[in-house]
């Protein structure tokens, strides 16, 4: 392929790909909405929590490594997560774009994602935060614990996950505000209401 050909292809990449980050504390509804948005816009939904839970279920080496850390509600190491993300995205070359759900959770992960995007000549179009009051978050998390029996959904662990969110993940809001791509959407109301607010934000992206 000629050099000119490849630069045209790269240009198409940045113009046509749609990459979104779903941001917010545990229980905010990122997973539900990220899955719907991905389906609607024909994007790949990358939920790092789901991928890790599947590794645990399959008892892979990675699964065994992260099992205890996840059960305590702590963060898995940046190195493992960054590698996992790069491998996952590499499996979907040619995708229309990605919806990242649960990643990045630390500044190092955010920087690694930016570098990865630059290498592929893409960018993150928007970082969308779902806003839900704290009491509602706790209520949802406790309900999910009862319904799904996730080992990281006990009250103690839920509290730990919320503290970790405050300390490590929330500071990313400033990182993305500086890039001018951070936007908040109300996360209360029906699933349909939230989805339609999200579509409004996504469709006005230029
Ligand atoms: P929730 O949707 O409730 O916020 P997730 O399903 O995204 O939770 O993640 C569950 C757990 O998986 C986290 O508490 C953490 O232990 C691990 N994990 C998922 N994504 C990451 C990440 N980007 N960095 C570090 N740990 C992660």
Q: Give the model confidence (pLDDT) of 44-91 as tens digits.
A: 999 999 999 999 999 999 999 999 999 999 999 999 999 999 999 999
Query: Has residue 7 got a pLDDT over 80?
Result: no
Alpha carbon nearest to ligand 1 atom 19, residue: 49
Q: CA-to-CA distance for 133 and 58, rounded, in angstroms? A: 35
In a domain, 40, yes or no: yes
pLDDT at 105 (0 to 100): 98
pLDDT tens for each residue of 131-172? 999 889 888 888 888 887 777 778 888 889 999 999 999 999
pLDDT at 202 (0 to 100): 95
In a domain, 2, yes or no: no
Closest ligand 1 atom to the C-alpha of 27?
A: 3
Nearest to 113 by CA among 68, 141, 83: 83
Query: Has residue 42 got a pLDDT over 50?
Result: yes
Closest ligand 1 atom to the C-alpha of 141?
A: 3
pLDDT at 156 (0 to 100): 85
In a domain, 1, yes or no: no
User: What is the band of 4 on the pLDDT scale with cuts at 50, 70, 90?
Assistant: very low
- What Å distances lie between residue 93 and 44, 87, 96, 97, 178, CA to CA? 11, 11, 9, 9, 29
Closest ligand 1 atom to the C-alpha of 31?
A: 2
Full-model pTM:
0.90
pLDDT at 1 (0 to 100): 41
Query: Has residue 3 got a pLDDT over 80?
Result: no
pLDDT tens for each residue of 162-202? 999 999 999 999 999 999 999 999 999 999 999 999 999 99
Cα 18 to the center of its chain, rounded Å:
14
Question: Which tokens sit at 155?
Answer: 């009250």
Ligand 1 contacts (CB < 6 A) are: 26, 30-31, 48-49, 52, 69-70, 73-76, 81, 102-103, 105, 109, 152, 161
In a domain, 59, yes or no: yes
State the total domains in the chain.
Answer: 1
Mutate to test the pocket of ligand 1, among 49, 51, 107 (most ligand atoms within 8 A of CB): 49
pLDDT at 77 (0 to 100): 97
> At 176, which CATH number?
3.40.50.300
Query: Has residue 12 got a pLDDT over 50?
Result: yes
In a domain, 3, yes or no: no
Q: Strands, E, within the chain: which ranges? A: 20-23, 44-47, 98-101, 126-131, 182-186
Domain that holds residue 177: 8-203
């Amino acid at each position: 392929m000629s050099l000119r050909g490849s630069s045209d292809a790269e240009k198409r990449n940045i113009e046509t790909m749609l990459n979104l980050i779903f941001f917010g504390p545990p229980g905010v509804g990122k997973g539900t909405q990220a899955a719907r948005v991905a389906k609607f816009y024909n994007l790949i939904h990358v939920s790092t929590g789901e991928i890790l839970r599947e590794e645990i279920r399959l008892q892979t080496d990675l699964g065994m490594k992260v099992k205890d850390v996840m059960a305590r509600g702590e963060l898995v190491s940046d190195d493992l997560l960054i590698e996992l993300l790069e491998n996952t995205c590499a499996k979907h070359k040619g995708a229309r774009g990605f919806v990242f759900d649960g990643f990045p959770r630390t500044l190092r992960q955010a920087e690694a994602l930016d570098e990865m995007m630059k290498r592929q000549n893409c960018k993150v179009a928007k970082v969308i935060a779902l806003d839900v009051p704290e009491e509602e978050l706790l209520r949802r998390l406790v309900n999910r614990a009862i319904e799904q029996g996730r080992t990281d959904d006990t009250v103690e662990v839920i509290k730990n996950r919320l503290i970790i969110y405050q300390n490590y993940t929330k500071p990313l809001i400033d990182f993305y505000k500086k890039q001018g791509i951070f936007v908040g959407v109300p996360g209360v109301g029906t699933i349909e209401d939230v989805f339609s607010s999200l579509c409004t934000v996504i469709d006005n992206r230029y």
